[in-house]
A and B are shown apart, each in its own frame.
Chain A
Amino acid sequence: MTDASFATPLVKKELPGSVQRLAWILLAAGVVVIAAAYMVDVRRSAFNNIVLFLFVTSLAGGSLLLIAIEYMSGAVWSVPMRRVVEFIAGLTPLAPLVALPCLLTMHDLYTWTNTEAMAGGGALHAKQPYLNLQFFVIRFVVVFLAWNLFYWLYTRNSLKQDTTRDPALTTFNIRMSAVFLPVFALTVTVTAIDWAMSLEPHWYSTIYGVYYFAGTFLAAVACATYIIVRLNEAGYLPGLRRDHYYSLGALMFAFVNFWAYIAFSQFLLIWYANLPEETFWFMTRWKGGWEYFSIGLIIVHFAVPYFALLSQDSKMDPRRLKFMALWILVAHLMDLYWLVMPTYSPTLTFAWIDLFFPLIVVGAVMLLLTVKMRRHPVMPIGDPKLARGMDFHL
């Protein structure tokens, strides 16, 4: 395809001002609500802040992984949509900001910050070289430095390619993905263990990193799917068809299954071995009202999306995809809430605080899109595989 064929659609590349206004309103409202929440109930807000941070990290890290996998596997179908994923990955520099309030309230959140309790001997004492504030912060910084480095390299090369059309940039990104994948495996595990698993410092599960990763990737694909379908319907991504949607739907369906598989694997081994130091984690999620939440999680996070995305048609239907993408994002939030909040309160309680924390993410993603779309083409117009990607048929 020639340059001209892409020039026409890209005339309409800026999102309408109403989106930006709404984004600012949501963002401001989110910040205000979080500030108000912290004034009302610091401890509850801090725990919600972990959920929020892990959610933003999911979207950022999952999007980075989606980009890396596209390069590594040489996928063609996803090339026209990669720029949108790169936009969402723009959350990577923002995610550490969301974590800052947590870092100020570590003693409210993590019992292992109490050095006296850690020195008491036993299992906690053995974990002390890992679970201490200094090393925690070092890991946090290293993880996000690494992610931001790769985010910066990916997007820099991708944007440079828009003008130079140099296939060597793609080769470079492929090589970088080979480095990024093991780095990501390690860093996402560290993030999951540090921020969520260490809430119960006695407890451990070796599959925990994979569990969080499953949700991470699922959330990133769902977020990308929703935005891509919306943008396409509004005419920003001309040429995308149901054939392209199918792969997004298939990825969501696959990772709904993968999440369930990992979640069940974690449960099965702990249930089978029946060791008190492992089972208590599930016991707290099976009493005090949490049992309803646990069952609800299985239905919302697995049963409903499984059947909603089972048939081939449903994986291509834009309305179904949009709905299920939002549904899965909510399910992922619910999953993170389920991981984090039982430590806050062994009995299930809801407060308005819990509902309004995610508001800021919606605002941030929308703002990110408006800003980035104003500056950059919404498709990687210089990518050598773009024409083949546009021409993709099932």
Chain B
Amino acid sequence: MDTQSLYALTALFDTPDDVVHAADTVASAGYTKFDVNTPYPVHGMDRAMKLKPSRLGFFALAFGLLGAFSAVGFISWVAVVDYPLVIGGKPFWSWPAFVPVSFELTVLLASVLSVVAMIVIYFKFPNNSHPLHDTPYMRHVSSDKFGICVLATDPQFEEATVRKLLASLNGKDIAPVYYVFDDINHGQSLFDPKFIAVLVLTAAVVSGATYVTFNKLLFIEPFTWMSDQPKLKAQKPSSLFNNGIGMRGAVPGTVARGSLPYAFAGKPDTAAAYLVNPLVPTEEVMKRGREKYLTFCSPCHGNVARGDSRLRGQFPNPPTLHSDKVRNWPDARIYAVITDGQNVMPSYASQIPRDDRWAIIQYVRVLQRSQNPKESDLK
């Protein structure tokens, strides 16, 4: 017992009225460091204990403002500076749309951080122990009794006097509470392996249970009218065919329309030497080429192929197609780039059919001519 110090003297009362009266008397006797523990909030206690109004409200206000300003600031930055998108024809800074989220964040930060502040300030986090823990006093005041504890740190604390005062108020089970100094101030650590292990285990169990509950047990599919259709899906099995595979392979010895094999994959120079553009620059070919160019090529290459991307620098800009090098390439060399891809440019073989690729090349030729006209074009 000699390593233990006195924390407080506690007393229990049977009714809320008794404890309010006791708190009033103790406070009137000049004690400032005492606390009342009750199983539920007792009205009129603040006044009886002569407490000053709580300052937690100012924390809540500050955290609420923090939430409001950070939400409005972040959304504004995203919507106006970093990734401006036109949505529904509205201005980038459409503040009404920001209000619900800002409101939520305000409430969230104000409430959660107030609790955190309370834990840090009043419970002296990371200390997670308290002398009243595991005492008969705490067992009673958290179920069926109302308790008052006068702390030994009170300037006018004197065990005998306090004991007499509490007894005169008809307090029951008047008992001292001791604590080991080291336990309170040095015994606990956030990085206690046991604490961390329990934390991790709790997190795993809670997320696992949540996952199973909401994805397996209680899973309610949303409207499935569109996703569940009696049709074959790419890459999916199907019971319709004997081999159980939904997708059909080519019939041996045949070539599907539009799927002529490309013999020059990875060999652009060979392609340039052997392939010839099968299309001639008619108006029809030009229209097709222009349409496909504007759809597939212009986002990166720009509308006139200067390499001036329309994508606000989110992808690296390609070089201009008006360089001498590209202008002097044969059509098939460009065809090889579209088909195979080059550097960061991926292959467009699956998006653009063969003839459209040739049509695009015809259109690119026109663009090149428009930027570097011959003497004869000006007449």
Contacts and interface: CB of A to CB of B under 8 A. Distances in A.
Interface of A: 264, 267-268, 271-272, 274, 311-313, 392-394
A268 B96 contact: yes
A267 B99 CA distance: 12
Interface in B94-117: 96-97, 99-100
B99 A268 contact: yes
12 contacts: A264-B96, A267-B96, A268-B100, A271-B96, A272-B88, A272-B96, A274-B88, A311-B57, A312-B53, A312-B57, A392-B43, A393-B43
Given A268-B100, A393-B43, A393-B44, 5 more contacts: A268-B97, A268-B99, A274-B89, A312-B53, A394-B47
Contacts of B144: none
Contacts of A313: 53
B97 A272 contact: yes
A307 to B, nearest CB: 11
Contact of A394 (B46, B96, B97): B46
B43 A394 contact: yes
Contacts of B57: 311-312
Among A264, A267, A271, A393, the most chain B Cβ lie within 10 Å of the Cβ of A393
Contacts of B88: 272, 274
Nearest to B58: A311
Contacts of A268: 96-97, 99-100
Contacts of A264: 96, 99
A259 to B, nearest CB: 15
Contacts of A311: 57
B24 to A, nearest CB: 12
Contacts of B44: 393-394
A196 to B, nearest CB: 23
Contacts of B89: 274
Given A274-B88, A311-B57, A393 B47 contact: yes
Contacts of A272: 88, 96-97
A59 B252 CA distance: 86
A150 to B, nearest CB: 31
A274 B94 CA distance: 13
Kindly list the 5 A-B residue pairs having the minimum CB-CB distance in the complex, ordered from nearest: A393-B44, A393-B43, A268-B96, A271-B96, A274-B88
A267 B95 CA distance: 12
A392 B43 CA distance: 7
A208 B96 CA distance: 19
A268 B96 CA distance: 6
A393 B97 CA distance: 42
Contacts of B100: 268
Contacts of B53: 312-313
B100 to A, nearest CB: 7
Nearest to B47: A393
Contacts of B97: 268, 272
Contacts of A393: 43-44, 47
Nearest to A392: B43
Nearest to A271: B96
B271 to A, nearest CB: 52
A205 B51 CA distance: 49
B50 to A, nearest CB: 13
Contacts of B47: 393-394
Contacts of B90: 274
A261 to B, nearest CB: 9
Nearest to A268: B96
A274 B90 CA distance: 10
Interface in B270-291: none
Contacts of B96: 264, 267-268, 271-272
A271 B43 CA distance: 46
A367 B47 CA distance: 39
A83 B85 CA distance: 58
Contacts of A312: 53, 57
Interface in B52-107: 53, 57, 88-90, 96-97, 99-100
Contacts of A267: 96
Nearest to A393: B44
Interface string B172-202: 0000000000000000000000000000000
A394 B57 CA distance: 16
Nearest to B41: A394
A301 B346 CA distance: 59
A161 to B, nearest CB: 25
A271 B88 CA distance: 10
Interface string B25-49: 0000000000000000001101100
B225 to A, nearest CB: 23
A393 B46 CA distance: 9
A98 B350 CA distance: 75
Nearest to B89: A274
B120 to A, nearest CB: 22
A208 B75 CA distance: 30
A92 B96 CA distance: 38
Nearest to B54: A312
Nearest to B43: A393
A272 B57 CA distance: 35
B95 to A, nearest CB: 10
A348 B326 CA distance: 66
A274 B100 CA distance: 18
A320 to B, nearest CB: 16
Nearest to B48: A393
A270 B266 CA distance: 56
A274 B97 CA distance: 13
A394 B99 CA distance: 33
A93 B228 CA distance: 60
Nearest to B100: A268
A313 B43 CA distance: 17
A393 B41 CA distance: 11
Nearest to A274: B88
Contacts of A274: 88-90
A313 B100 CA distance: 29
A79 to B, nearest CB: 14
Nearest to A313: B53
A311 to B, nearest CB: 7
A200 B88 CA distance: 26
